[in-house]
Structure 1
Amino acid sequence: MKKLIVLLAIILSSFAYSQEITMQGHKYFMNGQQLSSREVKEKLASNTQALEQFKSGKNKASLGGLFLGLGVAFCTADLVKGLVSDEDYPGAPTYIGAGFLAVSVPILIGKNKKMRQGIETYNAGLKNSGDADDLELNLITNQNGYGIQLRF
């Protein structure tokens, strides 16, 4: 019985000391220490909805960065080509690059919102996980004998 009480105390105390992730600018902090994106993903792994939202934001950042880079590359390449040759400067690559730049802006704007939603979902889950209503203690029996089951 003493072992059971100690086990319950340890489990409940781990929920009480669950730490929230905060986002300041583009950096993530827990207990005043900065976390890398990989560490944030490891923390969010316990909440699949929060992890999916965070990953969606990271995917948007990658896709937006790709479009931004392509836009800059097309515009720069056409500018250099216009400077060193006799061709007209605003050619097709400049317009293609401008299109890529225009597409990248809304994608990059939405990335921070998705990542913030993921972190907020994770933090909301931490606040709800310590409720006594979530705990179930059952006596179970099977072919191996009797036991106690704790669900949280």
Structure 2
Amino acid sequence: MIKTLLVLSLFFCILQSHSQKLVSKSNGTILNSENQQISPDQVRELLKNNQKLLADYNAGRSKKTVGNVLLIGGLGLMAIDVVIGANTDGNTTVTGNSIQTERNYPSALTFVGLAALAVAIPVKIGFSKKIKNVVNEYNYQSTLGYNALNNSKLDLITNANGIGLRLSLN
């Protein structure tokens, strides 16, 4: 009896370990069950059977790209404006016997850069939530056995002659 229970528990552990669990990190990287990073192409290959999850993952990756462009572009515009402001003397106006110098810093580049930074923050927050939702949904579906290619069913059968397992592949 103990030997049978041990074999059954080992069999169920093997089935559970076969379902691949994914883990999402805050920067959008996805790790497999062995904590190895999975490339975006490999993730797309895993999600190819579920078009909704694949579309959500692709939208999340697009948001990450847009957020990075806005973040780096905003910081770049502000840095360019600082360099320009530091290297120019400004406008000098001579009126009568007084000389006035106007600084042109901060200019429109700084304000455009700040606006890009302000837009980048919610975009970058949104992409990580979208990718985490995709990973959670994939893990939920893989543990329940909703994979399109693997519709198997395992039943425990008992009768007067003993206990058995029935594996049905659809």
TM-score, scaled to structure 2: 0.64
1:39-118 aligned at under 5 Å gives the runs 39-87=42-90, 88-118=104-134
SS of the aligned residue for 2:37 comes to: strand
Q: Which residue of 1 aligns with 2:141?
A: 125
SS of the aligned residue for 2:142 comes to: helix
Amino acid at match of 2:39: S
Matched, 1:19 2:20: yes
Unaligned runs of 5+ in 2: 1-13, 91-103, 154-167
Amino acid at match of 1:41: R
TM-score, scaled to structure 1: 0.70
Which string of whole-angstrom CA distances, capped at 9 and with x for unpartnered residues, describes residues 24-50 of structure 1? 444322230331222112111122111
**Partner Cα distance (1:70, 1:34) in 2:** 28
8 Å contact from structure 1 (residues 54, 116) kept in 2: no
Number of residue-to-residue matches in the alignment: 125
Q: Which runs of 4+ in 1 moved over 3 A?
A: 13-16, 24-27
**Partner Cα distance (2:48, 2:16) in 1:** 16
Q: Which has the higher helix share?
A: 1
Which string of whole-angstrom CA distances, capped at 9 and with x for unpartnered residues, describes residues 105-143 of structure 1? 110111110001111111122123269xx669xxxxxxx
User: Which structure's CA Rg is the greater one?
Assistant: 2
Mean Cα deviation higher: 29-38 or 13-22 = 13-22
Q: 1:130 to 1:16 in 2, by over 3 A?
A: farther
> Between the two proteins, what is the percent identity of the paired residues?
27
RMSD: 2.7
Q: CA deviation at 1:15?
A: 9.1
